[in-house]
Amino acid sequence: LKQRWIQQPKVVQKPLEGLTVFTDAGKQQKKAACTWQEGSSWKSHTMDGDVHDSLQTLELTAVAWALTRWHDQALNIVSDSLYVVGIVQRIEDVLIKPPINQRLCQL
């Protein structure tokens, strides 16, 4: 008798009842940002990037911050980065191996 664990997926395609966080980044300024609504006011958090960051790693920094900040609740993340959306959609099913870009290990 073989048994398999069936995991509850953490990434879903439909919006959840919960907080929505908008993420973005700017390559010129080397900054990443998250914006969300609390009650009737909008909040934001900006992060300084590393001098070697690409736009993709900056975008990923914003999403990683949001996932860490609200790790214990349902969360919708809106990103304009196809790169980041692709990573988030596939991250649960991948085998982890050291990436060539060491900056990705820090995120």
Strands of 1-107, DSSP E: 19-26, 31-38, 41-48, 75-79
pLDDT at 104 over 80: no
Q: What is the pLDDT of residue 6?
A: 60
Residue matched to tokens 């953490």: 10
Q: What is the pLDDT of residue 12?
A: 80
Which CATH superfamily does the domain covering 19-106 fall into? Ribonuclease H-like superfamily/Ribonuclease H (3.30.420.10)
Residue 89 C-alpha from the chain's centroid = 10
Q: Give the mean pLDDT of 92-107.
A: 68
Residue 73 C-alpha from the chain's centroid = 14
Domain definitions of the chain by residue range: 19-106
pLDDT in tens, 16-70: 899 999 999 999 999 999 999 999 999 999 999 999 999 999 999 999 999 999 9
- Residue 73: what residue type? Q
| Predicted model pTM | 0.78
